[in-house]
Structure 1
Amino acid sequence: MHQYIINASIQIVPIVLDKHPYEWVDEAIAIIQKAGIRYEVTPFATILEGTYDAVMKVIHEVNEFLYQKGCAEWITNLQIQIRSDRNVTGAEKTEKFS
């Protein structure tokens, strides 16, 4: 895939009884924070920006972490916007509202 910046959102919805779902979400966000890509935590999802490979790597790491730590079940909701010829960022989509 190209090296342009893509824009994505990831939402983790744990379906668990072993601990509060927010604890699993907090741990997933910690993975994102360590990834070295631009991110923004919002109440319903975390926004990611980086190259396609970097963003997909983080998505994989979050799911792998939940699996390895024994989360019984979860839903990963994703939205990904990709342009074939240039960057796409959250700022360009929201700057008119600032």
Structure 2
Amino acid sequence: MHSYTVNASIQIIPIVQDRHPYEWVDEAISIIQRSGISYEVGPFSTVVEGTYEEVFKVIQAIDEYLLSKGCPEWISNLQIQIRSTG
């Protein structure tokens, strides 16, 4: 894996009827907060910055969490900017 700096906008859209979608979104934000990478929560997505590996590890952790807790369906919208220098 490379060590490029990555900025990513992560938006999770739970498709659920048994819980309010924000409950799932709040859990995803908690995972990002605990990851230790730089982040900024916005009204439509959370922007993170880290190495390629760090950012994709967080994305994988969110997906695994939602699956393990029984979220029946969700959409993950990602926008990724990769910078190979500086």
Task: Tell me, yes or no, whether TM beats 0.5.
Answer: yes
1:9 corresponding residue in structure 2? 9
Map 1:61-72 to 2 at 5 A: 61-72=61-72
Spell out structure 1 runs of 4+ moving beyond 3 A: none
Flag the structure with larger Rg: 1
2:46 corresponding residue in structure 1? 46
Q: How far 1:48 sits from its partner (Å)? A: 0.6
**Comparing 3-12 and 61-70, the one that deviates more:** 3-12
What per-residue deviation string (whole Å, max 9, x for no partner) do you get for residues 17-72 of structure 1? 01000000001100000001000000000001000000000000001100000001
Note if 1:27 corresponds to 2:1.
no
TM-score by length of 2: 0.95
5+ residue gaps, structure 1: 88-98
Percent identity of paired positions between Structure 1 and Structure 2: 67
Root-mean-square deviation (Å): 0.9
Corresponding residue pairs, total: 86
